[in-house]
Amino acid sequence: MIDDIDRKVIGLIQGDLPLHERPFAELADRAGLPEEAFLERIRSLKERGVIRRFGATLRHQEAGFNSNAMVAWLVPEDRIEAVGEAMAGFREVTHCYHRRPQRDWKYNLYTMIHGDSREECRRIAGRMARETGVEEYALLFSEREFKKTSMSYF
């Protein structure tokens, strides 16, 4: 069960975090709570399964990146864990997902990478391939962004 304070906390964290040195202190102040109590509420919501995950969305253009690409990788299933962990560790990677191949699409691991240009994204993917030993991949460049919003519950 969630109470009124939980609802207030969820309402504050479901949108953009404030551009502030201590964003949770700012949100805690809005909620009328000390920062540690606010953070403890978030931890409690997570532990109780009310919040399953807490993520951030990178608006790559606003962060100074001019290009991004979803890279689809063909990774042997027995190496998925190790390769996924390694690829998630690259600083240029903001997302890393394992998915089952579908019909004519054989790729099973996906990373979103960001760079200053398409050529830089290609170089990043090449470096990731060399460092992980995964040779087969495809770059899918973003052409246009239609929507990027967070869920809104309260």
Q: Strands across the sheet with 67-73, in order? A: 93-98, 109-115, 67-73, 137-141
* Tokens of residue 62, six digits: 């606003």
Asked if the structure places residue 56 within a domain, the reply is: no
Asked if the structure places residue 82 within a domain, the reply is: yes
Residue 112 has pLDDT above 80, yes or no: yes
List, in sequence order, the alpha helices (H) in the chain. 4-13, 23-31, 35-47, 80-88, 118-132
Query: Does residue 133 sit in the same domain as residue 81?
Result: yes
Asked if the structure places residue 79 within a domain, the reply is: yes
Number of domains in the chain: 2
pTM assigned to the model: 0.62
pLDDT per position as a tens digit, 22-76: 999 999 999 999 999 999 999 999 999 998 876 666 555 555 556 889 999 999 9
* Tokens of residue 126, six digits: 């090449």
Query: Does residue 123 sit in the same domain as residue 94?
Result: yes
Identify which has the larger pLDDT, 113 or 145: 113
DSSP secondary structure code for residue 102 in this structure = B
Most confident region among 12-16, 65-69, 120-124 by mean pLDDT: 120-124
Question: For position 110, which CATH number holds?
Answer: 3.30.70.3460
> Residue 40 belongs to what domain range?
4-47
| Residue 94: per-residue pLDDT | 86
